[in-house]
């Protein structure tokens, strides 16, 4: 799905003579981890806009989750990275049932 959405976005922007967004590194990121994911965001938005515009039988995603491997190797030869993490983007705010904040003392701050 995402590859097809990427191709559709590329074609649409090309027709309108608009440059494709790009993922790019933070100025201070020595690991070249593409921390600014403008292209990825645009592709996911295009996918959902297309689903809505075409009246597709596909339901839009309420949430989008991604695993990001970032940072240097945790130890030599490791596939684990220092800053690997999961991000969750909530597209449908009805999915949020509550919010909480941990006390600073419980997270070692």
pTM: 0.69
> Half-sphere exposure of residue 8, counting CA atoms within 13 Å on the CB side?
15
Closest CA to 23 of 6, 5, 40: 40
Nearest-angstrom CA–CA distance, 12 and 35: 25
| Residue that wins the pLDDT comparison between 73 and 10 | 10
Which helix H or strand E contains 67, and what residues bound it?
Answer: strand 63-68
Tell me: the pLDDT tens digits for 40-67?
Answer: 989 999 998 998 888 888 888 899 888 8
């Amino acid at each position: 799905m995402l590859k097809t959405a990427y191709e559709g976005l590329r074609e649409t922007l090309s027709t309108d003579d608009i440059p494709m967004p790009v993922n790019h590194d933070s100025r201070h990121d020595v690991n070249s981890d593409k921390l600014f994911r403008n292209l990825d965001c645009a592709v996911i938005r295009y996918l959902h806009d297309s689903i809505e515009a075409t009246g597709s039988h596909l339901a839009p995603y309420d949430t989008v989750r991604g695993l990001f491997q970032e940072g240097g190797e945790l130890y030599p030869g490791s596939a684990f990275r220092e800053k690997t993490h999961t991000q969750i983007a909530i597209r449908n705010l009805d999915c949020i049932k509550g919010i909480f904040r941990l006390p600073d003392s419980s997270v070692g701050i």
